[in-house]
Structure 1
Amino acid sequence: MIFSPDLGKFAETLILSPFSHSLNYADAIFEGMSIVVGKRISIFHPELNYERMQYGADFMKYGYKINIVRAINTVFYLYLMNNYQSKRVYVRPLLYRDNDSVGLRNSGSTKLMHVLMPMGEYIAKEELSVLVSEIPRELPFARIKASSNYQLSLYALREANGYDEVIFMNSKGKLIEGSGENVVFLKDNTIYTDRDNSLPGITLRFVVKIAKELGLDFKYGSFGPEEIRDVDLVMFTGNAIGVKIVKNLSWRGNLISPKMQSLDIYHKIRDRYNEIFMGQDEQYHMFLDEFIDIDAYNSNRIDLDRKPERFDRVVKENIEELGIAKFL
């Protein structure tokens, strides 16, 4: 497998200092994106992922500025170099810290890695059975995609034998997030999601956009496990999982289900999201043939700064519509 240890660099082996703060202290920020292989080869909303990553880097005071054009080109070159045949390829950008000596005060350097992996369906089931974690989750960096946030997710999934996923509560007993998904509640033609203890998910932003187009209201809020009985639907949303229904929750030995009403609304949201995603809606996709000159690539010439004429306009429009500022 060929990956990129830093923008514009390509390798098959990672050389990393054993003193790396990412390795020792989980000091890193990551994203999850998708390459879609349809009539053309595209990346789904990369500008929104890199904007969120930049927000995290600024918040954590990394002092790193992401060159989005070079990042997108790096991803497309990796796709070609690895000759993937899958209809969907997962893309993992990772901002990581490389340090040359031990100690928390050692500043080190920040690098942007990209790794690609062919991906099938994350969870094949349409309706999920979910375990409610008994450990309250209150994260100081919940609004950024920090690697350190996911230790509890890893632990909870190891505990969730026999369940499709886990869901966390905050200290007030309200359901806030899955192991790697946002939670969306539908009740009385209004969709709700947690704000303070959850990542501003990009799939969530599309779901909110679609729900509003369908005439639904949107509010920030959440529900406790027992309150789920009065909720029409519960959904998980995320890059990997897409949009799925939570059929039931297991909490303290009890199996709790929402009303499972308004399934037609769920189907409309799911289908429209899949249409934008897998149908390669041009407004939200960047295409390989716009960035890479195949003849130049076949002649071993790499140009990381090539971009389409529409790039700046589309990035501006998408960030104005779905950027992180509206969901903080």
Structure 2
Amino acid sequence: MKHHLYPHSTTFSPDPQRVFSFDLEGRLISVFKGGVVYKRDLSSNVHVRYQQEGRQREVLNPEQARRFFEDVERQIQDLLPILPEDLVCRLRDRYTPDQLLDQKAKFLQVYRPISILPPDQYLSVVLQATEGCTWNKCTFCNFYADRPFKVKTPEEFAKHVQEVQAFFGEGVRLRKSVFLADGNALALSFSRLQEMLFQTRQAFPGLPVASFIDVFTGSRHTPEEWTALKDLGLQRVFIGMESGLDEVLRFINKPGSQADLLEFVSELKHAGLQVGLILMVGVGGHEFREPHAEASLEALKKMPLDAGDLIYLSPFVEHPGFTYSEKREAAGLTPMSEPEVETELALMAKRVRSMGLKAARYDIREFLY
């Protein structure tokens, strides 16, 4: 029997085949059982990960999730007589299967759908300053296709912050940062962002703030404003770089250019901010594989990046029916297979790391919050 009573969570392993984790509210976080990982997101969807001819991913349906929660509860009930007293005290207020299933309705009272986050922000406190994306016209993306862009009023945002605090409760101790969502939240006016960051710092003191922005909207803030936002708690700015090749950017209808990106990243770094650049691998198919990779790596070399920055390499996933698929077929481009994308990703990661930069995988198929 191994157990850890962390200041932010509870983890115990009754045998080598099982590991259970809970937040300090008593909500199940994850279960490892027999080589399979089960992760509960905040709305109590259960995400399953396992290896079987490659990495497999699935999400349990509501009835399967109920049975899973009930099975976990039975296992814990059977274990309680042999667990250490300090662990039993932590587990005493754990959520029942019904309470876990009720989290979905409570989550949807607090949040609009959260479509995507960078992987290092999966354990953030998301505050939706905006809903949707200011651009929402990239041919490969449908993260915000179901909603128009909307900015919360100061009153709406203040209420939202209070609701988020209540939703997390003691579970907030597991959270490592605050993510100001949704797409391009940092495109808001400086005065609006000032107030939002002040409220964020008051509600979640000590947690660094991160957020998304695109190059074409990011340049609207002055260098002095970026410095002021950094002083208010903003730590990292995530940019969907996608490619360093202007021809690819035009093909996917992504505004901005490599030159714009270089200028913007320099402004952010001068303000003392860390950046997270998201680079797609496989976009444009075989015909663009080499020029896309070379232009992207060359762009990274020109940026004043350091060890505090992140380069995310995202395997490109083509969804049938998207505008991208139609354009690719019309242009006669040949899509790369998943193994080919994986090979290319490994090669690019190696080259990025050879520059002294951090490279990490960003698979949108494995997102959960």
TM-score range, shorter chain: under 0.3
TM-score (norm 1): 0.25
Whose helix fraction is larger, Structure 1's or Structure 2's?
2
Q: Give me the TM-score of the superposition, normalised by structure 2.
A: 0.23
Larger radius of gyration: 2
